[in-house]
Amino acid sequence: MPRTIVYYFPERALGECIRLLLAYRGEEFIDRRIPHEDWPEIKHKMPFGEMPVLEIDGKKYAQSLAILRYLGRKHGLSGQDLEEDFEIDQNVYFYTDVWTRGGYVYHEANEEAKAANMAELVKNYYPFALKKLDEIIKKNNGHLALGKLTWADFLFAGMYDCVKVKLQMPDLDKKYPSFKKLADSVYALPRCKAYADKAPKTDY
Ligand SMILES: N[C@@H](CCC(=O)N[C@@H](CS)C(=O)NCC(=O)O)C(=O)O
């Protein structure tokens, strides 16, 4: 059996997407959660100085979306053809755009700029983007793409609580129940539930 390790911080977020997908497939893995204080010593050992990193039999794989796409293809959770793979990628990059924009504002150190940039997103970006995401999920039977479970759903679920923080929208569940429903549906998959029940509890 291959020796599989998932390296990430002691949070869910990008690391969780990979942990959930491996759990769903019943693949045993070592869940290596690196404390933030130990990170400076380990950073240089990672391909791009970031995590998550997946290691299989000593080979390190970096970049969360590339890892998820790779695992998706390996485990039958990707499209049947180029067109279907495109739809997954398109919706994944759209979801990623949403939280990346929110993240830039969330991490802004200047409080005045942060408030102004947040107001701009709330006025000119989130109404369109979140409605679109809601429409995508509804059109896809509660999934992010292809109307069925794909690797994209593991990204959605693993990141969802972190997305709420980055968007500074603790009430996102109420505004868009389809988002929480999708995240919950992944966590309700029996092997994902078994993994999550045992995993350390973290805010996101
Ligand atoms: N594009 C990368 C982003 C990875 C990333 O930003 N990782 C952060 C944690 S979420 C990190 O490793 N930060 C520590 C650092 O950059 O030193 C991916 O999707 O894997």
**3-36 pLDDT, tens per residue?**
999 999 999 999 999 999 999 999 999 999 999 9
- The alpha-carbon radius of gyration of the chain (Å, integer) is 17
Whether 153 has a pLDDT exceeding 90, the answer reads yes
- pLDDT (0 to 100) of residue 83: 98
Type and span of the H or E element at 4:
strand 4-8
For ligand 1, atom 9, name the residue with the nearest CA: 51
108 CA from centroid of ligand 1 (Å): 17
141 CA from centroid of ligand 1 (Å): 31
Q: Which of 146, 115, 103 is nearest to 14 (CA)?
A: 103
- Residue 32's DSSP bridge partners are 7
pLDDT, one tens digit per residue, over 108-123 is 999 999 999 999 999 9
CB atoms within 10 A of CB 191: 14
pLDDT band at 2; cut points 50, 70, 90: confident
Domains, the chain, in order of start with CATH, read 4-76+190-198 (3.40.30.10), 82-187 (1.20.1050.10)
Q: Which of 182, 60, 162 is nearest to 102 (CA)?
A: 162
Q: Which of 11, 50, 154 to mutate to test the pocket of ligand 1 (most atoms within 8 A of CB)?
A: 50
